Chain A
Amino acid sequence: EVQLLESGGGLVQPGGSLRLSCAASGFTFSSYGMSWVRQAPGKGLEWVSAISSSGTGTNYADSVKGRFTISRDNSRNTLYLHMNSLRADDTAVYYCAKDTIPATGGVFDIWGQGTVVTVSS
């Protein structure tokens, strides 16, 4: 079964850091681009970051550029999102999503169940 499973969310103070993980199974992880998408409470979807299948190409939304870093370990079939200098408006459910192409730039055909990040003092 094709599956994405996020972990690493939790409560963190403003200015703090967190690392999210997304474990992939059921497909050839190293063949596809991957993204993180977030959804603030009661709000819509916001794309956060993307990484190519090889890990050499990355993109970031302006709202997180310079604070978040996306990476992947194809030997472990795992995607990561390193989040620094967290702010209250980073509070959201964070989803990892599989792209339909090896680069980035396709649509997201598989999504994880999400992990909740709450930034609050």
Chain B
Amino acid sequence: DIQMTQSPSTLSASVGDRVTITCRASQSISSWLAWYQQKPGKAPKLLIYKASNLESGVPSRFSGSGSGTEFTLTISSLQPDDFATYYCQQYSIYWTFGQGTKVEIK
């Protein structure tokens, strides 16, 4: 099974900050990596697919990069609506999610 490890688990930041979340795969997954945002009591929302492709309707302040085993999600200027939990997901072999990164208000 492919394991996904995110860091940090929790991130405290302020509006306007640049935020970076890292996701590592236990083996190479090429670019088969997606990022989701989840707010409390709501379903996850797809942000990025194939490591760096922005889903339609997602603000351009979100970006993704990486390939192989190391990936990052960057929010260029954190907005109030961005405080949420973020999950990476590999879809190279079946699907596995990272444990999540909670972005909270500093």
Chain A interface residues (CB < 8 Å from chain B): 35, 37, 44-47, 50, 59, 61-62, 95, 100, 105-109, 111-114
Contacts and interface: CB of A to CB of B under 8 A. Distances in A.
Interface of B: 1, 34, 36, 38, 42-46, 49, 55, 87, 89, 91, 94-100
A47 B95 contact: yes
Contacts of A44: 87, 97-100
Nearest to B35: A107
Contacts of B55: 109
Contact of B89 (A62, A100, A107): A107
A106 B97 CA distance: 14
A15 B94 CA distance: 27
Contact of B46 (A47, A107, A112, A114): A107
Contacts of B44: 37, 45, 95, 108, 111
A47 B96 contact: yes
Nearest to A46: B97
Given A100-B49, A106-B91, A113 B97 contact: no
A112 B45 CA distance: 10
Contact of B91 (A95, A105, A113, A114): A105
B100 A111 contact: no
A107 B91 contact: yes
Contacts of B99: 44
B43 A47 contact: no
- Identify which of A50, A62, A106 gathers the most chain B CB atoms within 10 Å of its CB: A106
